[in-house]
């Protein structure tokens, strides 16, 4: 199962609230965990971080260690990290940081603290929020309904690979590509082969979740010069398994469906005001007026949707 969703607004607005509605409607597809990737107004400098600490009894010491790594890279918190905790052992925080001298080098060093922390997103505009529980519970805990932005992704997880851990839920950041996120419904059967190949290229995987791989795989292809659409098409013949996935960048959202067409995707696109989901009833939660629904039910399909007048074609 798993339910996925994408939402694009024609102007900045309540994209967080719409993503919560899209995921609340699909909670029955996977109540293990819920996650959101939201693209807010882009910054010219500085990044917004979303991170998780695994042991709140060590919160102060671990945050100090984290800050020290920032300092090593000539960066620092621009304001106090906003920490969210509950009865669970982990805690989450959001922080704005000044530009590290070399983002990739900073991410690599921050990942060395991986037994204590995980950076879940680091972007000029992307924020990934994910946690154990259903859409409304996660949204309320992390204030997702209040997030303003242009577009984003949502995910309700029924784990097939890896444990039901808050950090192993979707969306996944395409570490270390700063503003790229993915949600996936399905299973990648040649996961270990690809993970090994990408690890040998220097990429780091922090979970055992097969979906983490797709984000990095597509980003690596784009780094090598492919357009997003070319990379999406290539993924269909390169990656084995069943999948419908959506990948987002600051410019928009793309999707790919595998050769077996096992995993659904329905979309309403009203001149760029777009909602996509695994189930039609979810799309209709946010598209309440009369509208045509496109059912992408065939095999080997891809598509790209830009935000506003931005293009994903180049």
Residues that bind ligand GLN (CB under 6 A): 1-2, 157-161, 184-187, 209-211
**How far is the C-alpha of 104 from the C-alpha of 214, rounded, in Å?**
19
Find out whether 268 and 280 touch, Cβ atoms under 8 Å. no
186: left (phi over 0), alpha (psi -120 to 50) or beta: left
Task: State the minimum distance, in angstroms, from the CB of residue 66 to ligand GLN.
Answer: 26
State whether the Cα torsion 16-21-22-24 is positive or negative.
Answer: positive
* Closer residue to ligand GLN (CB): 164 or 291: 164
* Closer residue to ligand GLN (CB): 158 or 301: 158
Task: State the minimum distance, in angstroms, from the CB of residue 153 to ligand GLN.
Answer: 14
Total length of the chain: 314
Task: State the minimum distance, in angstroms, from the CB of residue 61 to ligand GLN.
Answer: 31
* Closer residue to ligand GLN (CB): 27 or 96: 27
Task: State the minimum distance, in angstroms, from the CB of residue 266 to ligand GLN.
Answer: 16
Task: Please confirm, yes or no, whether 2 is among the known catalytic residues.
Answer: yes
State whether the Cα torsion 49-134-117-161 is positive or negative.
Answer: negative
* Closer residue to ligand GLN (CB): 3 or 152: 3
Find out whether 35 and 132 touch, Cβ atoms under 8 Å. no
Between CA 116 and CA 122, with CA 117 as vertex, the angle to 5 degrees is 170
* Closer residue to ligand GLN (CB): 167 or 185: 185
**How far is the C-alpha of 22 from the C-alpha of 26, rounded, in Å?**
7
Q: Which two tokens stand for residue 129?
A: 């929020």
List, in sequence order, every residue forming a beta bridge with 266; answer none if it has no partner: 277, 295
Q: Check whether the bond before 9 is cis (ω within 30° of 0).
A: no
Alpha carbons within 13 A on the beta-carbon side of 63 = 17
SS3 label, residue 156: strand
Task: State the minimum distance, in angstroms, from the CB of residue 78 to ligand GLN.
Answer: 33
Give the CB-nearest residue to ligand GLN: 2
**How far is the C-alpha of 152 from the C-alpha of 275, rounded, in Å?**
10
Find out whether 47 and 178 touch, Cβ atoms under 8 Å. yes
Catalytic residue, chosen from 2, 92, 122, 291, is 2
* Closer residue to ligand GLN (CB): 63 or 216: 216
Task: State the minimum distance, in angstroms, from the CB of residue 157 to ligand GLN.
Answer: 5
Catalytic residues: 2
């Amino acid at each position: 199962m798993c339910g996925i969703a994408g939402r694009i607004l024609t102007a900045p607005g309540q994209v967080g609230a719409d993503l919560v509605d899209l995921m609340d409607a699909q909670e029955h597809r996977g109540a293990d965990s819920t996650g959101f990737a939201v693209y807010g107004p882009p910054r010219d400098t500085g990044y917004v971080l979303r991170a998780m600490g695994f042991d709140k009894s060590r919160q102060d010491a671990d945050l100090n260690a984290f800050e020290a790594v920032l300092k090593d890279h000539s960066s620092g918190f621009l304001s106090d990290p906003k920490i969210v905790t509950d009865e669970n052992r982990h805690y989450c925080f959001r922080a704005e940081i000044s530009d590290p001298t070399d983002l990739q080098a900073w991410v690599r060093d921050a990942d060395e603290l991986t037994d204590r922390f995980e950076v879940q997103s680091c972007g000029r505009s992307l924020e990934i929020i994910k946690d154990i529980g259903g859409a409304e519970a996660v949204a309320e805990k992390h204030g997702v309904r209040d997030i303003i932005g242009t577009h984003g992704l949502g995910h309700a997880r029924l784990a097939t690979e890896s444990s039901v851990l808050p950090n192993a839920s979707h969306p996944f950041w395409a570490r270390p590509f700063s503003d790229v996120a993915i949600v996936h419904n399905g299973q990648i059967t040649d996961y270990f082969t690809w993970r090994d190949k990408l690890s040998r290229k220097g990429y780091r995987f922090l979970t055992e979740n097969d979906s983490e791989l797709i984000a990095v795989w597509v980003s690596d292809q784009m780094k090598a010069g492919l357009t997003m659409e070319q990379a999406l098409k290539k993924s269909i013949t390169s990656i084995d398994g069943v999948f419908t996935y959506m990948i987002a960048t600051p410019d928009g959202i793309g999707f790919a469906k595998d050769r077996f067409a096992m995993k659904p995707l329905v979309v309403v696109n009203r001149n760029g005001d777009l909602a996509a989901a695994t189930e039609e009833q979810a799309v209709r939660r946010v598209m309440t007026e009369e509208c045509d629904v496109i059912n992408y039910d065939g095999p080997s399909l891809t598509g790209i949707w830009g935000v506003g007048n931005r293009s994903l074609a180049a």
